[in-house]
Structure 1
Amino acid sequence: MTDMTPEQQRDFEAAAFRRLVAHLNKRTDVQNIDLMNFAGFCRNCLANWYHDAAREAGADLSKDEAREHVYGMPYEEWKALHQSEASEEQKAAFERNRPKE
């Protein structure tokens, strides 16, 4: 691995995050439940991680604002436009694969 400064690492990680969010915003056909079933995280997870990072840094950011950042619009609007009802198969896969607390 090449030598990089902590600032470069932060900048590269931030760029990768922005690219992931942009990619997910283009792929509205991919449902959150599919992401959870195949990858173990979804857009809501990203929004929660973003929210957690903001709180840890002392920023006043609500969960709704974090979701809007990830979804590119208010969450309720995204759901109305893009979210479909999960199939019984998707729900069963989620129950088998969901993170256990």
Structure 2
Amino acid sequence: MAQIDDQTQLELEAAAFRRLQKHLMEDRTDVQNIDMMNLAGFCRNCLSRWYQDAAAERGIEMTKDEGREAFYGMTMAEWKANYQTEASPAQDAAFKEAFEANVGSDGKD
């Protein structure tokens, strides 16, 4: 692999993140967060929390709602109204297990 300087690596990682964000927020709005969590152990909310955590590490105060709006490009209420569907009892049960295993009972990674 070619040598990549730190700034280029940062730019490549940022570009990959933006592509993932676009994919989840524009191209695959049909994929539900609960399904992502149940299958992959993370979802859009996790990504927005990681964004919030990264801001905090840099001394930038950001609420959970602000982190979500920064990642989603809209409020959580708007996302739910436009894209979220009702979860089945089986999805809810699997989610509780996946959330505990991947996020923990306190809601933090």
TM-score, length of structure 2 as denominator length: 0.84
Written as runs of structure 1 = structure 2, the 5 A alignment for 1:1-101 is: 1-26=1-26, 27-100=28-101, 101=104
TM-superposition CA deviations, 1:7-62 (whole Å, max 9, x none): 11111111111111101112111110000011110000000000000110112332
C-alpha spacing 1:64/1:96, structure 2 compared with 1 (3 Å): closer
Quote the sequence identity (%).
56
Runs of 4+ residues deviating >4 angstroms: none
Q: Is the 8 A contact 1:33 1:86 kept in 2?
A: yes
The root-mean-square deviation of aligned C-alpha atoms, in Å, is 1.4
Question: Gapped runs of 5+ residues in structure 2?
Answer: 105-109
Counterpart residue identity of residue 20, structure 1? L
Which residue in 1 is equivalent to 2:107? none
Q: Which runs of 5+ in 1 are unaligned?
A: none
Shift, 1:89, TM fit: 1.7
Task: Give SS of 1:98's match.
Answer: helix
- Which range moves more in the overlay, 31-40 or 84-93? 84-93
- Structure 2 distance, partners of 1:9, 1:67, is 25
